[in-house]
Each structure stands twice: as structure tokens, then as C-alpha cells.
């Protein structure tokens, strides 16, 4: 429960102070056995802090007021599908990349790969992944699959992961055991892949201002390669597309838990990707692979769409892609009427020159099921059989709640896009102004 947001909304709506404090005391009773006197003092303190912070809007110093405010897009995260791995999510991430801008990195956010790469003496790959939001009550799985995702993003750059870091935020009422269990999940992947968890941060969500036991966390990873990264943009006309078997991870575990298919969770407990990628690196196949990816961002629909966009090529897939999904995972998805092409099945995808495809398949068959599923052609877009494979506004709805929300785009999508573009431009302008201000201070102006 976000107490700060609760009080802020009521102040803005013009609620009376006494009414807000009375309502807040009732909320506190849901979480704390504090008694009347402490609940009263705490509620008044929250009200005073929030009402004071709202005075920012009246600061006369325009520059300081801008520093302390943010551009209002007036578009909410949920209504535009941010975090839901579809068209809306991809669009917002592109805007974030535009705010960062082109950097000196060899691979930066503008290239839409899942990891960035900088060039030192070697190629250094860096990635971070957030835990699945619905695994807060299952922290070991949250940590395990979050770590797997971060390491995969390093591997698909053609790099060997060398270290991980974690960032944990737990609500004020969260049991400390959640921190331990999440860390255990990350460390398990670390030991299985010889990638140590070396540092991290642990904080409460919102400090004293958020009650509840929600866990949110991320795992970052760093890796090193001695060859140029296998970028999505490197897909070439005539290349063959290969897919390993997809057994799923955080998303598939979430589907299993919230739809009563608990046994499927066990299928996701593996580090197959590390064995596969280690072999590719050890056998020097990295130089023979044009692009690698993992099927995560809105499923194959989303990842293939991004590859097509950055490479300027068309991806053509053969019918029968369902065979690339683990049979028990696919059975669950079919019984729940969930489109397997629109969720994270966590296959590894290789785009390989035709002359190297058979050799790579021969080696991969020793470790995993591997399928030739298509090819790269001139043009743009993604084709499956005779049909164009379109990216949807959100990933396939895969829990009862997501099915209520659906995967359709908002009616006023174009207006929302304009509002988001405006907020992005304001953020870029603010960045430039503050860089100029700090630069002036450094130079003594």
C-alpha cells in the first residue's frame, strides 16, 4: 500500500486534512497493530511530508522547480502496456533509448539488444533484468529466473558471464526470509554456471511510506568476449534461423502457479542455456553466428519483430513452430488457450549463414533439441507460413487477471503516443539544461 500516493491523491482532490488522516488511520490498521495514538501521529506525519512536498510547484526558481518536477505524459503505465512485452512496451523503451541518446558504447540502448557492450581490451557485455512481478510470493523462483534472464542476455552477445549483482526492494511488512530466498535463487544459478554473485543492494520499497510485503528486484550481469558481439542487426539475407527447445522461465512458472499447473514449474528449473552457449563459445562458433537472441520480449512475435526492425530484413518462419516448445509446457498453454507465440518461452534463437547451419545443429543436438524454423529474406516484417506475424499491443494474456485486461491497444493510442513523445522531448531538454548547468559550475561560471 503506497501511503504517499494515497495521501497525495486526496490532497490534490481537495480532501479535508482531518478526513485524509482518518482514512489513513483505517488503512494503517490493515497492516500495523500500532494502537490509536501511534497511528494518529504517523498519519499526521505522512500528511505533513506529502503536503510539504507539493509546495515544489510553487517554487519561484524556475530551474529548481524543473529539477524537482517531471514531464507529465498523462499516460499511465498499465493503460499503455508498459512491462507487458508488446507494442506499447517496445515503444516506451525506444523513447527511453532516445533520452539516453547515442553513446560511445559499441552496443547501446538504441540498438534494441538486451545487453549493452563496451570495448576495452576486450568486449564487455552488461545486462540487467527485473524479476517477474507476479513471483513476489515465490522469491526463490523470482531470483532463479531473474538470474537466468540476465545471464542469457550476456551469452547471446557471444560473451562469457563473469559476475552478477542484485538489487532487492522489499515492502516494510515483508519477511526478511524473502530476501534470503531470492538471493538463494540467484546464487543457485551462479553456482551452476560458475558466475559469482558479487555485490548488491537491499532497500525497503518507499522506505516508511509503503506498507505491505511486495518484493521487487533485479539482477545484473557482466561478461567478456574476445570477438565482436552477435547483434540482432547482423541478420543477413539467406541466413538460416534455428531455435532450441523452449522450456520457459519466470513467465511459464507464473502461468503454472496461477492456473494450477504446479508440476510445470519443475520443467523451468534448468540452466540449459549456459551449457548450449558455453559449447558455442568453446567451439569458436561465435564467429560463425550472425545473431543470437532469447525468446522473451513478448514471445517470438516480439523478438522477431525487433530483429526485423533493427536489421532491415524479413524473417520467414515455417509452419509448425509449436514443436519448439516443451510438450508439457505447450500442453498447459493449449489447455489455457494461451498463444505460445506471444509469451516468453525462452528458446535460444540463432541466425546463421547457411553454410554453417548443419555444423551448428550437429553440435547442439548433443545438448538440446534444435530446430531449423525459417530463414532471413529481403524486405521487412515477420511471416509465419502464409500469414504476416504481427506484434500485439501486449503479450499473450496468461493469468486470469491478464485475460480480463486483454491484449488490445487503447482506442486513443495515437494521442497517447503524441503525449509520450512530448514527455520524452521534455526529459531530453531537461537533461541538456542540467548538463549545461553542472558544466558551468565545474568551469567556475
Residues 301 and 368 in one domain: yes
Domain that holds residue 38: 3-64
pLDDT tens-digit map of 295-349: 987 899 888 988 998 899 999 999 999 999 999 999 999 999 999 999 999 999 9
Q: Which of 204, 229, 254 is the last residue of a domain?
A: 229
Residues 188 and 295 in one domain: no
Q: Which of 64, 83, 113 is the last residue of a domain?
A: 64
Q: Which CATH number fits the domain that encloses residue 159?
A: 3.30.1330.10
- Region 89-94: mean pLDDT is 80
Residues 54 and 156 in one domain: no
Residues 363 and 259 in one domain: yes
Q: Which helix (H) or strand (E) holds 253?
A: helix 250-258
Residues 267 and 241 in one domain: yes
Give the whole-number percent of the chain exceeding pLDDT 90.
51
pLDDT of residue 250: 93
pLDDT of residue 444: 66
Measured CA to CA, the distance from residue 165 to residue 129 in angstroms comes to: 11
Residues 125 and 39 in one domain: no
Phi and psi at residue 189, to the nearest 5°: -60, -40
Residues 97 and 116 in one domain: no
Structural domains of the chain, count: 4
Residues 245 and 378 in one domain: yes
Residues 236 and 182 in one domain: no
Which band of pLDDT confidence, cut at 50, 70 and 90, is reported for residue 27?
Answer: very high
Residues 245 and 391 in one domain: yes
pLDDT of residue 113: 63
pLDDT of residue 41: 92
Contacts of 186 (CB under 8 A, 6+ apart): 143, 144, 146, 147, 164, 166, 197, 219
Cell numbers for 118, please give them.
563496451
- Region 71-95: mean pLDDT is 79
Residues 290 and 430 in one domain: no
pLDDT tens-digit map of 363-400: 899 899 999 999 999 999 999 988 898 877 777 776 77
Which band of pLDDT confidence, cut at 50, 70 and 90, is reported for residue 407?
Answer: low
pLDDT of residue 401: 63
Cell 531470492 found at: 182
pLDDT of residue 63: 83
pTM score, two decimals?
A: 0.82
Cell numbers for 62, please give them.
524556475
Residues 203 and 122 in one domain: yes
pLDDT of residue 439: 83
Whether the Cβ atoms of residue 150 and residue 221 lie closer than 8 Å to each other: yes
Q: Which CATH number fits the domain that encloses residue 265?
A: 3.90.650.10
Q: Exposed/middle/buried for 31, CB within 10 Å: 0-12, 13-18, 19+?
A: middle
Residue 221 region, left (φ>0) first, then alpha (ψ -120 to 50), else beta? beta
Amino acid at each position: 500500500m503506497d501511503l504517499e500516493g494515497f495521501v497525495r491523491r486526496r490532497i490534490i482532490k481537495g480532501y479535508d486534512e482531518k478526513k485524509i488522516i482518518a482514512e489513513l488511520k483505517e488503512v494503517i490498521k490493515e497492516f500495523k497493530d500500532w494502537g490509536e495514538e501511534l497511528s494518529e501521529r504517523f498519519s499526521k506525519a505522512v500528511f505533513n511530508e506529502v503536503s510539504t512536498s507539493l509546495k515544489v510547484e510553487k517554487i519561484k526558481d524556475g530551474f529548481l522547480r524543473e529539477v524537482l518536477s517531471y514531464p507529465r505524459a498523462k499516460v499511465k503505465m498499465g493503460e499503455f502496456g508498459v512491462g507487458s512485452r508488446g507494442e506499447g512496451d517496445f515503444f516506451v523503451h525506444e523513447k527511453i533509448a532516445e533520452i539516453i541518446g547515442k553513446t560511445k558504447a559499441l552496443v547501446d540502448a538504441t540498438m534494441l539488444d538486451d545487453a549493452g557492450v563496451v570495448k576495452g581490451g576486450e568486449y564487455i557485455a552488461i545486462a540487467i533484468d527485473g524479476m517477474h512481478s507476479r513471483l513476489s510470493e515465490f522469491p526463490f523462483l523470482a531470483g532463479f529466473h531473474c538470474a537466468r534472464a540476465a545471464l542469457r542476455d550476456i551469452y547471446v552477445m557471444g560473451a562469457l558471464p563473469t559476475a552478477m549483482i542484485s538489487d532487492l526492494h522489499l515492502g516494510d511488512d515483508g519477511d526478511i526470509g524473502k530476501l534470503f530466498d531470492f538471493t538463494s535463487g540467484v546464487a543457485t544459478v551462479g553456482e551452476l554456471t560458475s558466475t559469482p554473485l558479487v555485490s548488491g543492494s537491499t532497500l525497503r520499497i518507499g522506505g516508511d511510506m509503503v506498507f505491505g510485503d511486495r518484493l521487487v528486484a533485479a539482477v545484473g550481469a557482466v561478461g567478456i568476449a574476445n570477438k565482436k558481439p552477435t547483434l540482432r542487426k547482423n541478420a543477413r539475407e539467406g541466413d538460416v534461423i534455428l531455435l532450441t527447445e523452449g522450456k520457459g522461465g519466470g513467465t511459464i512458472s507464473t502461468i503454472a502457479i496461477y492456473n494450477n499447473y504446479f508440476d510445470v514449474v519443475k520443467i523451468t528449473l534448468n540452466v540449459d542455456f549456459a551449457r548450449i552457449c558455453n559449447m558455442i563459445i568453446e567451439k569458436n562458433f561465435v564467429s560463425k553466428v550472425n545473431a543470437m537472441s532469447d525468446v522473451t520480449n513478448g514471445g517470438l512475435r516480439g523478438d522477431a519483430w525487433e530483429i526485423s526492425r533493427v536489421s532491415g530484413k524479413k524473417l520467414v518462419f515455417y509452419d509448425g513452430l509449436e514443436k519448439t516448445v516443451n510438450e508439457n509446457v505447450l500442453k498447459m498453454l493449449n489447455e489455457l488457450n494461451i498463444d505460445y507465440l506471444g509469451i516468453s518461452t525462452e528458446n535460444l534463437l540463432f541466425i546463421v549463414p547457411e553454410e554453417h547451419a548443419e555444423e551448428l545443429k550437429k553440435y547442439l543436438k548433443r545438448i538440446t533439441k534444435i530446430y531449423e524454423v525459417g530463414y532471413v529474406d529481403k524486405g521487412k516484417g515477420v511471416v509465419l507460413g502464409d500469414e504476416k506475424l504481427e506484434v500485439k499491443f501486449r503479450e499473450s494474456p496468461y493469468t486470469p487477471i491478464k485475460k480480463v485486461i486483454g491484449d488490445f491497444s487503447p482506442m486513443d493510442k495515437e494521442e497517447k503516443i503524441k503525449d509520450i513523445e512530448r514527455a520524452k522531448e521534455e526529459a531530453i531538454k531537461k537533461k541538456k539544461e542540467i548538463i549545461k548547468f553542472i558544466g558551468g559550475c565545474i568551469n567556475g561560471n
